[in-house]
Amino acid sequence: MDGNGSKQTIRRAANLAAAGIVLTYAIFALLWILFSDRALFLLISDPDRLVQASIVKGWAFVLITGVILFVLVARLIYRIKLAADQDRRNRQQKAAQFRAHSERVHAQLEARVAVRTAELEAANRELDAFAYAVSHDLRAPLRAMSGFSEALVEDHGDQLDGQARQYLHQIVLASHKMAELIDGILVLSRSSRGSLELSEVNLSRLASNQIERLRQLDPDRKVDVEIEPDLIVQADPRTIEVALHNLLENAWKYTGHTSAPRIRVYAGDMEGEPAICVEDNGAGFNMAHADKLFKAFQRLHRQDEFPGTGIGLATVQRIICRHGGRIDASGSPGQGACFRFSLPARRRKEGSA
C-alpha cells in the first residue's frame, strides 16, 4: 500500500473511533438525564434538597463523562499512534527492500556494462587489426599490380597492340579504384569508433576551406558558392570536418554537368529543429531510391557519369548519428539535392542562450 493509501486507512480508523466516542457519550448522557432525574424525584420531595441534589448530580455528570472521554480519547490516540508506527515500519521495510533491490539492479547493470565494454573493446581491437590488414596487406599487392602495369606500358608499350594496351589501362584504373575503396572503408571504420571531443566549431569557415581546396583541384570550373556566415555548432572537429568534406565534395561532383552550378551552405530546419543544409542544383536523385543514399556501396548514378565509391554518405550518416543527430536528404532528377543534418549539441547551446 502506498503512502496515500496508508493515510486514508488511518484517517478512516480515526473517524470511526471518534464516532464511537461521540455515540458512547450521547448514549451515556441520555441515560443519565432520564434515570437520574426520575430517581431524584422519587427519592427527594423537599424542593431545597432537590435543587442541591441536582447540582451534585450535574457535577457528578461532568466528572464521570470527563473520565469516560479521557479513557476513550486516550484509546483513540493510542490506536492512531500504533497505526502510524506500523505504517512507518512498513515504509522503512519497503524502503530497505527497494534499496537492496536497487543495489542488486545497479550491481547487475555494472556487470553487464563491464561485459559489454569488454566485448566492445575486443571488437575495436578486431577492427583495428582489420584496418591494419587493409592498409598494409591489401595496398602492397595493389601498388605492385598498378606499378608493374604502368611499367609494362612504358617499357614495352611499342610491342603491344592497341587491345593489349587497353587491357593494361583497365588494370591500372581498377587498381586505382580499389585503392579508393580501401581509403573509403578505412574512413568509414574510423568514423564509427574513437571518442568524440566536442568543442565549438565554425562550419562556415570549414566549408570555405573545403570549397577553396576543391577550386584548387579543379581550377577550370566556375561554381557559384554561397556560405552563410557564423554557422557555429558544438561538435567533434575532426569527424564533423570529414562529414562536411564528403557533403561538399558530392555537391561539387554532382554539379559537374550543370551549366550554372550553384552550392549553398546555410542554416535550416528539420521538422522544426535547427539544422545545417548543404544544397546544390546538380544531378539530384529520385526520391523513390532515397533509402539507398546512406548505405555503403550503394550508388544512384552510373560510374561513368559520376565516379565514386558509394561510401561517402554512409560515413556522413555515421558521424552525425554518433553526435546524436539526424540527417536526411531531398531532391529530384536534374533539379539538385539538399542534405540536412541536425546536431543536438547545437540545439542545447541555442536553448541555453
Mean pLDDT of the chain: 77
User: Same domain for 299 and 346?
Assistant: yes
What is d(CA 348, CA 233) in angstroms, rounded to the nearest whole number?
10
* Residues whose CB is less than 8 angstroms from the CB of residue 131 and which lie 6 or more positions away in sequence, other chains included: 186, 189, 190
79 to 17, 73, 84, 97, 286: CA distances (angstroms):
9, 10, 9, 27, 79
User: Same domain for 36 and 131?
Assistant: yes
pLDDT value for 83 = 73
What is d(CA 195, CA 112) in angstroms, rounded to the nearest whole number?
21
Hey, is 213 helix, strand or coil?
helix
Alpha helices in the chain (DSSP H): 3-43, 47-132, 139-156, 162-190, 203-217, 237-254, 312-322, 344-351
User: Same domain for 30 and 65?
Assistant: yes
Q: Total domain count for the chain?
A: 2
Q: Which domain holds residue 175?
A: 1-190
* Residues whose CB is less than 8 angstroms from the CB of residue 68 and which lie 6 or more positions away in sequence, other chains included: 24, 25, 28
User: Same domain for 248 and 299?
Assistant: yes
User: Same domain for 174 and 204?
Assistant: no
179: Cα separation from own chain's centroid: 37
Amino acid at 319: I
User: Same domain for 151 and 98?
Assistant: yes
User: Same domain for 216 and 122?
Assistant: no
List, for residues 49-108, the tens digit of each pLDDT value.
766 766 776 667 667 767 776 776 777 677 777 777 787 888 888 888 777 777 777 778
CATH number at residue 261: 3.30.565.10
Of 190, 210, 235, the last residue of a domain is 190
What is d(CA 85, CA 89) in angstroms, rounded to the nearest whole number?
6
> Using 50, 70 and 90 to split pLDDT, how confident is the model at 352?
very low
Q: Does pLDDT of 18 surpass 80?
A: no
pLDDT value for 316 = 87
Question: 334 versus 207: which is more confidently predicted?
Answer: 207
List, for residues 143-198, the tens digit of each pLDDT value.
777 788 778 878 877 787 878 878 777 777 777 767 766 776 676 666 666 677 88
Question: What is the dihedral angle through the alpha carbons of 306, 312, 317, 323, rounded to the nearest 10 degrees?
Answer: -140
What is d(CA 208, CA 211) in angstroms, rounded to the nearest whole number?
5
pLDDT value for 350 = 38
List, for residues 227-278, the tens digit of each pLDDT value.
999 999 998 888 899 899 989 998 998 898 888 999 999 999 888 889 999 9
What is d(CA 321, CA 190) in angstroms, rounded to the nearest whole number?
14
User: Same domain for 183 and 203?
Assistant: no
Which residues face 329 on adjacent strands? 339
Of 140, 167, 190, the last residue of a domain is 190
Of 163, 190, 217, the last residue of a domain is 190
b/e map of 179-201 (b: 16 or more CB within 10 Å)? eebbebbbbbbbbeeeebeeeeb
List the Cα angle 268/271/277 in 5-degree steps: 25
Answering whether pTM is above 0.85, one says: no
User: Same domain for 69 and 113?
Assistant: yes
As a whole number of Å, the CA-based R_g of the chain is 44
User: Same domain for 226 and 145?
Assistant: no
> Using 50, 70 and 90 to split pLDDT, how confident is the model at 206?
very high
> Using 50, 70 and 90 to split pLDDT, how confident is the model at 33?
low
Q: Does pLDDT of 201 surpass 80?
A: yes
User: Same domain for 169 and 303?
Assistant: no
Q: What phi, psi does 276 have (nearest 5°)?
A: -105, 135
> Using 50, 70 and 90 to split pLDDT, how confident is the model at 133?
low
User: Same domain for 220 and 304?
Assistant: yes
Contact in structure between 184 and 134 (CB atoms under 8 Å):
no
What is d(CA 148, CA 166) in angstroms, rounded to the nearest whole number?
15
What is d(CA 319, CA 246) in angstroms, rounded to the nearest whole number?
11
List the Cα angle 218/223/228 in 5-degree steps: 120
b/e map of 210-239 (b: 16 or more CB within 10 Å)? bbeebeeeeeeeebebebeeebbbbbbeeb
